């Protein structure tokens, strides 16, 4: 008898969107886009290391095929006595003579859980256009981050945390990311935890100030990643802290 093969379908976590990309239907509008489609540029690192600004989200879709995305809860639904549940839509409205004109905004984060992450903010009169704008902006803001083991209590040399302490700020919100030993987990606010998870960081400590505004706090967390890339380090520290950038081959 011939045994039947079992096909196991792994569904993505709740809130995470994995969308396919149509290479044949893509018509590049920039020189970099045409080089990517022709195969001349085969890695996203070739673009990010040169500091070239991304202008087409399809470039990211093609070079980082395992990219995942999710929407962060930056709003709050209406409830009695000022309460309400967290919502991915941040709704505002303008009062005019014709009536109330609502606007919807959302914050998207994309990442491949292996060193690449980006966030984007989108706003529109409808929910779906706001979502598409946020996803597009997140892909265009994609960056590679430094990972390593900078905890004095661990020193394993693996890339499960960040190599050294860093600080990010947005408006009045400020957050400090501190390396943590392996097995600690993500000791940080829930929405920032989603960003770190998609970036591929598994263990971290955090200290946040003026964190009531979740939009500013998440942006401050992303700015802290940028500070990691700006810090100059020696080759000796790279080997000692197990620092890697971007995809871990």
Of the two residues 12 and 187, the one the predictor is more confident about is 187
Indicate the number of domains in the chain.
Answer: 2
Reply yes or no on whether the pLDDT at 62 is more than 50: yes
pLDDT digits (tens, 9 = 90+) for 81-115: 556 788 898 988 888 888 889 999 999 999 999 98
Cα(94)–Cα(86) distance, integer angstroms: 22
- Residue 83 CA to residue 154 CA, distance in Å, equals 42
Chain segment 11-45, per-residue pLDDT in tens: 444 444 445 577 788 899 999 999 999 989 989 98
Residue 96 lies in a domain: no
Q: Which of 110-114, 174-178, 213-217, 227-231 has the lowest mean pLDDT?
A: 227-231
The per-residue pLDDT for 215 is 92
Structural domain that includes position 28: 9-72+107-144
Per DSSP, which regions of 26-98 are E strands?
68-72, 75-76, 86-87, 90-96
Query: Is 93 within a domain?
Result: no
Q: What CATH number does the domain containing 15 carry?
A: 3.30.160.20
Percent residues over pLDDT 90 in the chain: 51
Cβ count near 178 (within 10 Å):
18
Distance CA 230, CA 226 (A): 7
Task: Label residue 199 by pLDDT band (50, 70, 90).
Answer: very high
Low-confidence winner among 36-50, 165-179, 203-217, 228-242 (lowest mean pLDDT): 228-242
Entry pTM: 0.83
For residue 54, give Cα distances in angstroms to 43, 58, 64, 143: 13, 10, 13, 10
Query: Does 41 share its domain with 115?
Result: yes
Same domain, 49 and 119: yes
């Amino acid at each position: 008898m011939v045994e039947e093969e079992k096909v196991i379908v792994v569904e993505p976590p709740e809130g995470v969107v994995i969308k396919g990309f149509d290479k044949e239907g893509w018509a590049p509008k920039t020189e970099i886009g045409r080089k990517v489609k022709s195969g001349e540029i085969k890695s996203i690192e070739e673009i990010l290391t040169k500091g070239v600004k991304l202008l087409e989200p399809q470039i990211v879709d093609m070079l980082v095929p395992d990219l995942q995305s999710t929407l962060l809860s930056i709003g709050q639904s209406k409830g009695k006595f000022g309460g309400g549940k967290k919502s991915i839509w941040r709704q505002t409205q303008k009062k005019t003579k014709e009536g109330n004109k609502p606007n919807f905004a959302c914050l998207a984060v994309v990442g491949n859980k292996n060193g690449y992450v980006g966030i984007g903010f989108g706003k529109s009169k409808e929910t779906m256009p706001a979502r598409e704008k946020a996803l597009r902006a997140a892909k265009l803001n994609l960056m590679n981050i430094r990972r390593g083991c900078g905890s004095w209590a661990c020193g394993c040399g693996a890339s499960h945390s960040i190599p050294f302490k860093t600080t990010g700020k947005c408006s009045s919100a400020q957050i400090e990311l501190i390396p943590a030993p392996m097995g600690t987990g993500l000791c940080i606010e829930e929405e920032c935890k989603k960003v770190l998870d998609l970036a591929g960081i598994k263990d971290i400590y955090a200290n946040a100030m003026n964190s009531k505004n979740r939009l500013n706090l998440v942006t401050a967390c992303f700015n802290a990643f940028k500070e990691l890339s700006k810090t100059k380090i020696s080759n000796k520290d790279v080997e000692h802290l197990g620092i890697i950038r971007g995809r871990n081959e």
